[in-house]
A and B are shown apart, each in its own frame.
Chain A
Amino acid sequence: MQVLWKDAVTDGPRLAELVRRIAAAEDRAAFAELFGLLAPRVKSFLLRQGCDGGMAEELTQDVMLVVWHRAKVFDSDRATVTTWVFTIARNRRIDRLRRERSVEPDPDDPLFVEGLARSPDTDIEIAERQARLHHAIAELPEEQAELIHMAYFQDKPHTGIASERNLPLGTVKSRLRLALLRLKKVLVRDGGP
């Protein structure tokens, strides 16, 4: 599995700081810097998901505009900037490309059940956790890594992956389950963003 760890945007605290400056003062210089760090990766991600060049460019600009307008609601205790941007890109793809409506649970919903409150983590803890996550992804056995990549980079649900690869759905489900268990061990045990 190819993980360009050395090229990854590793400076999570810097990204969070830039988003905070946009939220606090509509800081355009901060936005330009954030754009330079993130937009080329958002576009690359969309291209890998099969968007053509024009659409990937258009969606990338859309995503960065949403970042600008929503900077105030970004909560660094709940997500890293790249995770937040991933969800924005996902929702824009659903809304624009599939012409469906993206749906998310609404924290203001009277039915919303709160989880346990966690104390915020330090920048160092967040960085270490992110490194562990990259490591866990890189260490997945080949057949599990392949399925995870297909899940994120091909516009298909896991049931569709099974029929495309001519694998029994049960096999896909059990491989995914193993991969997810490994990742969850790092992710959910850690908690936090």
Chain B
Amino acid sequence: MNAPQIHPDDGYLLDYATGTLPEPFAVLIASHLTLCPACRDTARAFDRVGGALLESSEPAALAADSLAAVMQRLDRPATVTVPPPPPALSGFGFLPRPLQRFLTGLPDPPRWHRVPFIGLETVRIPRFGECRSRLMRVAPRHAIPRHTHTGNELLIVLNGGYSDQTGEYDRGDVAYGDPELVHTPRADPERGCLCFSVWDSAPKMVGALGPLLNRLLPI
């Protein structure tokens, strides 16, 4: 399997390292990191900056009984444990684990909602604060009609691929959408495209059918 060729920009890797990304965005980045050793190196570099800033922080006074309180708790079972591998939703065992864990709790098998005419199906994922996310699959040779984005959207290709004027996206690649991007992504002619997208404001269809499609899109 080839490593991804199109990466999230460093700003997102930095936000991931500083722990400021909302969970759905962090899930997407961790899914990319699973597949991409190069971005893991970058994220680890930002962790090291954090480590260095921690080292150079001036020591703060602890509570008087701080050490004693912790020593007393050493023999108790760990409260923070490494979670076991998540149970895979039927047919989704091939997804990166951070994403599988995030999808735990969806109906199994997941329910695909068809958007008429354009070969697009989506799985709705409950809203998370200001963020929304969904799984999306587009049938081979189909294209999503020309649209733009009203906020920040990140997308990771999970299977198949697509292309638009910004490039060709394959498994593990991450694409970014914002109000400046107006595009017509076209799914791979043989494999179609399955992806996970996260946004803090909904994509908006443009063009003659835009108003109709904006109503039909289950987002």
Contacts and interface: CB of A to CB of B under 8 A. Distances in A.
Do A and B pair up? The answer is yes
Nearest to A22: B74
Nearest to A155: B20
A187 interface: yes
B14 to A, nearest CB: 6
A20 interface: no
Which of A41, A43, A111 has most B Cβ within 10 Å? A111
A153 B41 CA distance: 22
B33 A105 contact: yes
Interface string A95-106: 100001111111
Nearest to B10: A180
Given A112-B34, A184-B42, A65 B78 contact: yes
A156 B19 CA distance: 9
A105 B40 contact: yes
Interface residues of A, number: 87
Given A45-B54, A105-B33, A148-B49, A39 B67 contact: yes
Contacts of B30: 103-105
B169 to A, nearest CB: 17
A193 to B, nearest CB: 8
Contact of B52 (A28, A104, A133): A133
Nearest to A89: B54
Contact of B79 (A8, A65, A105): A65
A140 B52 CA distance: 14
Contacts of A4: 56-58
B77 to A, nearest CB: 9
A64 B70 contact: yes
B22 A111 contact: no
Given A85-B54, A111-B94, A114-B37, A152 B79 contact: no
B50 A188 contact: no
Interface string B88-111: 000000111110011000000000
Interface in B158-209: none
Interface of B: 1, 3, 9-11, 14-15, 17-23, 26-27, 30-31, 33-38, 40-42, 44-63, 66-67, 69-71, 73-74, 78-80, 85, 94-98, 101-102, 152
